[in-house]
Each structure stands twice: as C-alpha cells, then as structure tokens.
Amino acid sequence: MEASRKPLAKIEGRRRLKLSGLTIAWRGTPNLDDWVAYIDTGTKSKKLILADHASERKVKSLLSRIQAMPKREVEKLAKG
C-alpha cells in the first residue's frame, strides 16, 4: 500500500516597484530551483521573463537589485 504524499507547496507573490511603476510577479517551490520572475503586464501572451529555472535566493536578490532601476533598464534586463 502506497503512502499518500502532500503536494509540494507553491509560493506566489507580486511586488510593485516604486521607481519604475512595474509590477513584478514570481512563483516557485521552496528548496527547488524552479522559480520564475516576470514583469506582469496583465496579458498572458506577452510576459517579459526576468529569471527562469532559478533558485529562490537568486529571484529574491534580483528583486532587491531592480528596486532602484528605471523602467527602461528593467525591461532591457528581461528577455521576451
């Protein structure tokens, strides 16, 4: 008889950057390198990805780094 396992907890969040006015969203699973951070434009078809298949630590450090960046630099950092 197989023991039932709880599904892994997913974490999601959003932060609005004061200087640039962009909304950055992220999601991932703790202790796994499956985190993604992207610029939330409101449409599902066009997402500018800032980090993909990254660790939680890398995503959080990226968010703190781009706090003081202007909008043009943040969009240049993202890949379409």
| pLDDT tens column, 12-25 | 999 999 999 999 99
Predicted confidence at residue 47, as pLDDT, reads 79
- Please name which of 56, 54, 48 lies closest in space to residue 73, comparing C-alpha atoms: 48
The mean predicted confidence, pLDDT, of the chain is 88
Say yes or no to pLDDT of 67 above 60.
yes
The values of phi and psi at residue 70, to 5°, are -75, 165
Q: Could you tell me the end-to-end alpha-carbon distance of the chain, in angstroms, rounded to an integer?
A: 47
Confidence band (pLDDT; 50, 70, 90) for 80?
low
Quote the pTM value. 0.81
Residue 42, classified by CB atoms within 10 Å of its CB into exposed (0-12), middle (13-18) or buried (19+), is exposed
DSSP state, residue 23: E
* Sole residue written with tokens 């706090």: 67
